[in-house]
Amino acid sequence: MEIPIFYGVIRENPKEWTDQVEKYLSKIGIKDDKRIFKIVKTHLLGNVLQWFENEGMCIADWDKNEIKWLNLKFRIIDRYSSDNRKMEMMIFENINGKGFIRIDGEVKCKYCEKIENVTLREINYFEVREESEESLRNKIETLCKEYFRKGMEYLSEYEERCEHKNMNILQMGECKIAAYRNNQKVYEQTEYKI
């Protein structure tokens, strides 16, 4: 019995895939979370591999006694279920239209320099209604500041548990939020964290 490759595309069923992973792990008797994560990683390709290297690995807080595979399993099912993927596709097909603002955000850990798109757990966009440019600017700025605050909070929590924390390889942490209208950047805020 082999684990199939999972690409995270619409026609795939993440629940079936994670069930197959569990059957395989049960058959070969692996229970160690670090080995499980390595096995899972070798069976991911495309966007889902990138997601795993960023968000998925954050589940793996090896210092705490948590059921990490279970956490990862539910995150994969939630992230790649067909309903979520279809909704994302519909939104992103429309997002290039004039009526939408998209907000992207990422943080970079100062110890391991891992970059993660923290604000993209939900799709951050909103439709532009009939409002003045000034009102729209204020709305964008308010939302971006809120996402920025969440990003900085997340960065502090992530750095606190980063496995590279005690290796004295100190870089600069970073939190960046940007808003786009018609794929043109209309707002950006970046802060470095020492």
22-71 tens-digit pLDDT? 888 888 888 877 788 888 888 888 777 877 777 655 555 545 545 567 77
> Does 91 reside within a domain?
no
Could you tell me if 172 and 192 are in contact, meaning their C-beta atoms sit under 8 angstroms apart? yes
Is 186 a domain residue?
Answer: yes
Domain count, the chain: 2
Mark which of 33, 55, 85 sits at the end of a domain. 85
Residues 102 and 184 in one domain: yes
Using pLDDT thresholds of 50, 70 and 90, give the confidence band for residue 150.
confident
Residues 101 and 183 in one domain: yes
In this structure, are 49 and 108 located in the same domain? no
The structure's pTM equals 0.44
Kindly provide the b/e burial profile for residues 56-82, where b requires at least 16 CB atoms within 10 angstroms of the residue's own CB: bbbbbeeeeeeebbebbbebbbebbbe
Q: Is 85 exposed, middle or buried (0-12, 13-18, 19+ CB in 10 A)?
A: middle
Nearest to 52 by CA among 32, 23, 81, 73: 73
Question: At residue 86, does pLDDT exceed 80?
Answer: no
Q: How much is the average pLDDT of 92-116?
A: 67
101 and 174 both lie in a single domain: yes
Same domain (yes/no): 109, 42 = no
| Range(s) of the domain holding residue 129 | 97-193
Do 19 and 75 lie in a common domain?
Answer: yes
Q: What is the dihedral of CA 8, 154, 72, 103, to 10 degrees?
A: -20
